[in-house]
Amino acid sequence: MWTLGMLLAVVSPPTLSAADVAPNSESSTQQQDESKKMLRPTVDLGKFQIRELHPAQGETTRVTLTLRLALPQQTSESTLKILQHWHHRLRDQTIIAIRVANTSDFAEPGLKRLRRLILLRVNRLFKQALVEEIFFTEFAFSIE
C-alpha cells in the first residue's frame, strides 16, 4: 500500500502556483511584436470558382481555389490600402491567368507554372514587382 502511494506521488505532475501560470506581460508583448515583424503582409483575393468550356476537346474544366498574395515585409500601410482598393483588378488578372493556363498546368504537383502565370499577370499592374509569392489555401480541379 505504501509503495502505491509513493508511486502516485512520483507520477503525479507538480502543482503550479499563480505566479508560474501568469506570463510576464512585458516578454509576451515583445514576443508578439517580434512575431508581427516576421510575418509578411498578405492580400486575400478570396475564393475563385471558374468553369471553362473547351468545345474542341469536348470537355469542361472546373477550377476552385482560394488565393492570397504575399508581399515584402517592408510594404507600407498606404500600399496595402491601394492593393485593397485594387481588389477587383487583381481578381481580374488572376482569372485571366487561370483561363490562359493549360489543363496540364493544373495537374502539376506544385502548381509552379500556374503560380508564375498569376504572379506575372498581377505584377503587370504595378511599376515594380510588388507581389513576391502566391499562396493557394484551397485548390480543386476537375475535368468533365
All structural domains of the chain, each given as residue ranges with its CATH number in brackets, are: 2-35 (no CATH), 40-143 (3.30.479)
Instruction: Provide the angle, in degrees to the nearest 10, between the axes of the packed helices 87-100 and 112-123.
Output: 140
**3-state SS assignment for residue 76:** coil
- The cell for 94 is 488572376
Mean pLDDT, range 113-130, rounded to an integer: 91
Residues 36, 134, 137, 108, Cα dihedral to 10°:
-150
**Could you report the per-residue pLDDT of 44-97, keeping only the tens digit for each?**
999 999 998 888 888 888 999 999 999 999 989 998 998 899 999 999 999 999
DSSP 40: P
Residue 73: CB atoms within 10 Å: 11
pLDDT for residue 18:
44
Nearest to 110 by CA among 93, 84, 134, 129: 134
pTM of structure: 0.71
Report how far residue 36's alpha carbon sits from residue 132's, in angstroms, rounded to the nearest whole number. Answer: 18
Mean pLDDT, range 116-135, rounded to an integer: 91
Is 79 within 8 Å of 130 (Cβ atoms)? Answer: yes
- The cell for 87 is 481588389
- CA 17 from chain centre, in angstroms, equals 39
